[in-house]
Structure 1
Amino acid sequence: MKRRVLGVTAAAAVAALALTSCSGGGGGESSDGTLNYWLWDANQLPAYEQCAADFNEANPDITVKVTQTGWDDYWSKLTNGMASGTAPDVFTDHLAKYPDFVKTDQLLALDDEGIDLDQYAEGLADLWVGQDGERYGLPKDWDTVALFYNKAMTAEAGITDEQMASLTWNPDDGGTYEDVIAHLTVDKNGKRGDEAGFDKDNVAVYGLGLQDSGQGMGQTQWSFLTGTTGWTHTDTNPWGTHYNYDDERFQDTITWWAGLIDKGYMPKLETTVGASVNDNFGAGKAAINSNGSWMINTYTGYDGVEVGIAPTPVGPEGKRSSMFNGLADSIWVGTKQPEAAAEWVAYLGSAACQDVVAEKSVVFPAILTSTEIAAKAFADKGIDVTPFTQQVADKTTFLFPITENAAKIDGIMKPAMDAVLAGQADADSLTAANEQVNALFE
C-alpha cells in the first residue's frame, strides 16, 4: 500500500509561512529535523536557498538543506540514492522520470486537500496525478520553446525583427523559416547559404544550431514543428500506451529537419558531441537556436551578443506550437520525516516561494500570479519574454508526453534518430523503432 502524507498539515504550513513573509546527504540518513532537498539547475539555486531560509525561519524545528547537482549526474545520483537508502527527502522531479518512480514505488502520494490547484497554469497540476489517481507532485514552474537569434547577424543579413516574429514553416520546402536559416548560413568565403557558390562543407556560421537528435521527445529540437502538423507523440496524454513515430507527418518533419544538415545549414551531428549548442551560439557559430525558456538568462548573458527572441514558426495548419513542460517537487518514499517533507513541498508549491523564484527572473513559476511577476522581472532587465508566454496565452501548447518506460524509449529512439541525422538511415526507418517502442507496452 502506498503511504500518503496529509495535505492538511502542509496547507497549514503554507498559511503560517505566508504570515511571516548548502549541501546535504540523503533523506535516508536524516531524522533530526533536517530535510534534504535536491535540484539540478544552478541558476535557480539562489532562489531556492532563499525559500529554504524563509521556511527554516518560520519552522525552527525543520532545517532544509539544498543540494544542486548538474543534470548529467542528477538522475544517476538520485536513482543510486534510492537503491542505497540515501536519496533526498524531497527532490525536483521531471515528467519524463516520475512515471517510472511511481511504478517502482519510490514516491509518496500527496494529499492535496486544502491546496488551491486552480492557482497553477492550466493543465500543470493534472500532469502529476498518476494512473492510480494519486498525486505525486505540486507544480513549481513551466516552460515553452522559442527561437533565440543573434540580432547583429540578422541585421547584417537584412532580416528584420518583424520577419523573425512572423516565420512560417512546412515540411515540403521549409517556408520562410528555411529561407531565413539558409540566408543566415555563411561559408568561410563569405557566401550565404542561398547564394551561388555556397560551400556547404566549409561553413563559418550555421543558420540553425544543433543540440542533438532529440531522442524520442525532441522538446527543443523538433517538437515545435511536429506539433504544427497535428501529430502527437502518443495516442492519449497523459498515460498513452501507443507511440506514433511511424506517422507520415512525423517522418516528413524529421526528413526536412535532417535535410538542413545535408544542405549545410545546420552542423553535422557528430560535431555536437561534447559541445554546447548555446555556447556555440554565444561564440558566433550559429545565428538561431531553438531552446527552452529556462535558458533565457544563459542566452542573454553572452558578452557582446545582442539576442533577440522570436516565437516558433507558424506551421501548415496555421498555428504555432510548443511543448508545455512543467516540473514539480516529489517526496521520496524512504524519507523519515514525511510530514515535514509535505510541509516543505506545499511551501515550494505556494506563492510565498514561487514569488521569490519569480523575482529572480530565471524561470516562469507555475502559479499564474507568480508568472506575471517573473515576466515583469525579465522586462525590467530589458528582456521581452512574450514569445514564451504568448504560447500559453494563445493555447498553442501541447503537454509533455507522459508514459511509463521513458528511459527505455529513449534507449530505442536515440540511436534511431541519430542514424537519421547522421545520414545513415531515412526517416522511414523510424517505423521499426516505433514497433520496438510500442512493444514495451504489450
Structure 2
Amino acid sequence: MKSVDIPMWNRSCRSALGRPTEKKEKHMKRFYFVLLVVLAFAMLPVGLLFAAGQQGSDASEEVTLEFTWWGADVSRDAKYNAIADAFEATHPSITMSRQIASWADYWPKLITQVAGGNAPDVMGMHATKVSDFVRRGALLDIGSLVDSGTIDLTTFPQSVVDVGKLDGNQYMVAQGVTMTGILFNASLLQELGIAEPTNDWTWSEYADLSRKGSAGFKALGRRGWGSADMSADRTTLAVWARQRNKELFNEDGSLGLNEKDMVDWFTYWANLRKDGGVPDAATTVEYRNLGVEQTMIVKGIIAFGSVPFNQLPNYQRYVDGEIHALLRPSGDTGPSGAFVEGSYLPISANSDYPEQAATFINFFVNDPAASKIFLLEQGAMASSEMNAVVMPLLSPIQQRMISAIEA
C-alpha cells in the first residue's frame, strides 16, 4: 500500500486515540483528580460554602444593631439619631436600626418584644424598671465587657456605676444622671401672687400653695390650678416612701408601704382635688402622656408640676418665663427622700452582637462628639471627663438644671 503522509493535526488525533504513554497517563490521572475535587465542592450546599468563607471575618462583619429609646420628642429624637449616624460614620460595618416610642407606649412594647425573644440589641432603660427586666432574663450581664475595656467606666463615679448593678452584676450604663422634682414658671408665680418657694418646703406648705395658685387663676379670670395631681406619679410616691424611711418596693418586689401609708397618700391628693388645688380627674387624664409642648405647664394652666430635671431645657423652649425647679416637698421632719436616677443603656440577653452593642454604648457615653450632641438630654453626663467637655456649651437653663441636681 502506498504510504500517505498524515497532516500534523490528524497525527495528534491518532496519538490521542492510541495507547497513552506513561507520561501521558500521569497527566490524565492528575486531570481526573482535579475534576473529582471540583465536582465534590459543586455538590456541597451553598449555605455551607458561604459559612466556611465567613469564618474568621467577625471584625469586619456587616451587622445591624436594633436601638430603641423613649421620647417621641422632635429634639430628643434628633439627638439620638445624630449620635447613631456619627457612630455609623466611624464604624462602617455596623448599621443602626432605630425604634422610637413615647414613654407610655415604650414599656408595653418593650415587654412584648422581650416576651417574643426579639428585644432590640441596645435599649433605653430606667433605673426604676431594671429589676423587672432582669427578673425576666432580658438583660445581658455586661461585667466582662466592662472588665475588658470594651465599655470604659473609669471616669464614672462609683455611685453612678453601681446604679447599673443588680445583685452584684452590671446590667446597664448611665446615659445621664438626673433627679425629678417640682418645676415652675417664675413669671407665672408672680402673676398668681405666689412667692417663689425654697427647697425646705413641706407637703403642708405645698398644699397651701396649690390652693393659693388655683385662687390666683380664678382671680385672673383664667382656667388653671395650683398643682398637677401627682397621686399616680410613681417617682413622687417613691420619694414619699423614703421620707418615711421606707422604699416603694422591697427587695423581693413586694410593696414597701403599708395600708396607712397608702391611705395617707391618696387622702392628701383627694383633699386637694376636692378643694380645687389640683385638676379634676378628667382633666388630668386629658393631659397625660402628651409631648412637652402639650403639657399643662407649657399651656400655663398649672403652677407646679413634677418633672425630671433633665427636661428643664425642653420646657424652657416652649415657655416665655424662666423655668425653675426644686426638690419635692418633705415631711415636717425627716429626710428629703430625694434620690439620683437617670436613663441607662443595657444590652439584650438575646443579642447576636454583644461586642458591637457594647462598642456602641461606649461611643455613646465616652466619645466627645457624641457628648456634644447629647449634652444634658438625660441629665448630667455620667462621665466626669465628658461633663468637662460639654460644660462650656451649656446654656443658662442647662446650668440651672445642674444646680437643681446638685442641690
Change (3 A) 1:121 1:83: same
Q: How does 1:12-411 map to 2 (within 5 A)?
A: 32-41=62-71, 42=73, 43-110=75-142, 111=144, 112-113=146-147, 114=149, 115-117=151-153, 119-131=155-167, 133-161=168-196, 164-170=197-203, 174=204, 176-186=205-215, 190=219, 204-210=223-229, 213-214=232-233, 218-219=234-235, 221-235=236-250, 239-246=251-258, 248=260, 251-276=263-288, 279-317=295-333, 319-352=335-368, 355-359=371-375, 363-371=379-387, 377-380=393-396, 384-386=400-402, 388-391=404-407
C-alpha distance in structure 1 between counterparts of 2:173 and 2:232, whole Å? 30
1: CA distance, partners of 2:305 / 2:396:
24
Distance 1:136 1:274, change over 3 A: same
Contact 1:212–1:272 (Cα < 8 Å) also in 2: no
Contact 2:122 2:347 in 1 (8 A): yes
Alpha-carbon spacing, 1:222–1:253, altered in 2? closer, same or farther (3 Å): same
Shift of 1:336: 2.4
Contact 2:368 2:389 in 1 (8 A): no
Kept in 2, the 8 Å contact 1:148–1:307? The answer is yes
1:207 partner SS: strand
Give the CA deviation at 1:286: 0.9
Q: Whole-Å Cα distance in 1 between the matches of residues 185 and 397 of structure 2?
A: 18
> Which residues of structure 1 form unaligned runs of 5+?
1-12, 14-30, 192-201, 392-442
CA distance in 2, matches of 1:327, 1:151: 28
Aligned partners of 2:276 and 2:406: how far apart in 1? 32
* CA deviation profile, 1:229-274 (whole Å, cap 9, x unmatched): 4332244xxx444432216556434432332112211112333113
Residues 250, 54 of structure 1: alpha-carbon distance in 2 compared, 3 angstrom cutoff? same
1:319: how far off?
A: 4.9
Deviation at 1:85, TM superposition (A): 4.6
Q: CA deviation at 1:343?
A: 1.5
SS at match of 2:77: helix
Task: Count residues with an aligned counterpart.
Answer: 338
CA contact (8 A) 2:179 2:342 kept: no
What is the identity, as a one-letter code, of the residue corresponding to 1:39?
W
How far residue 282 of structure 1 moved from its aligned partner, in angstroms, is 1.9
The aligned residue for residue 45 of structure 2 is none
Across the aligned residues of Structure 1 and Structure 2, the Cα RMSD in angstroms comes to: 3.3
Secondary structure at the counterpart of residue 110 of structure 2: helix
Structure 1 CA distance for aligned equivalents of residues 339 and 275 of structure 2: 27
Relative to structure 1, is the Cα distance of residues 32 and 299 closer, same or farther in structure 2, using a 3 angstrom cutoff? same
**Counterpart AA for 2:224:** V
Contact 1:167 1:313 in 2 (8 A): yes
Q: 1:349 to 1:79 in 2, by over 3 A?
A: same
Alpha-carbon displacement from aligned partner over 1:73-122 (angstroms, at most 9, x marks no partner): 22333333344454322111223433333333333221220355453345
Contact 2:127 2:343 (C-alpha < 8 Å) held by counterparts: yes
d(CA) in 1 for partners of 2:106, 2:381 = 21
Name the CA shift for 1:247/1:374 in 2 (closer, same or farther; >3 Å): farther
Higher helix share: 2
Task: Give the TM-score of the pair, scaled to structure 2.
Answer: 0.71
| Pairwise CA distance, 1:287 | 1.0
- SS at 2:271's partner residue? helix
1:397-431 Cα shifts (integer Å, max 9, x gaps): xxxxxxxxxxxxxxxxxxxxxxxxxxxxxxxxxxx
CA distance in 1, matches of 2:227, 2:158: 32
Q: Aligned-pair distance for 1:210?
A: 2.2
Identity in percent? 20
Largest Rg, 1 or 2:
2
